[in-house]
Copies of this chain bind each other. A is one copy, B any other.
Amino acid sequence: MIIGKVVGNVWATRKDEKLCGQKFLVVKRMESKSKEKDELLVAADNVGAGHGDYVLITTGSAARVSIENENVPVDAAIVGIIDSIDVSDD
């Protein structure tokens, strides 16, 4: 899993109908505890994350496992809201 920070929202009216009803958030990957990478990701959110939250994101086919629906074409899903991270050598 990667560690991300929720930085925004995205709206798409015209979309694959299999995505309808699924909430998405824009996240940035963290390189370290305090530095974000210049890379926008969009992840499905089923845990109720909000703006500014640090989150755990699973990618690839595991995202569909989280969603519990193999027919939803997502490749990234928020699977946890981080309470705290304890990282040394950082």
Contact = CB atoms under 8 A, between A and B. Distances in A.
Interface residues of A, number: 65
A32 to B, nearest CB: 6
Given A60-B61, A79-B73, A85 B8 contact: yes
Interface string A23-55: 010101011110110111111001110010000
A34 to B, nearest CB: 11
B47 A40 contact: no
A15 B49 CA distance: 10
A31 to B, nearest CB: 5
Contact of A15 (B26, B35, B81, B86): B81
20 contacts: A1-B43, A3-B10, A3-B42, A9-B85, A10-B84, A11-B83, A11-B85, A12-B81, A13-B81, A15-B79, A16-B66, A16-B77, A18-B65, A31-B38, A31-B40, A60-B61, A61-B61, A65-B70, A65-B71, A73-B79
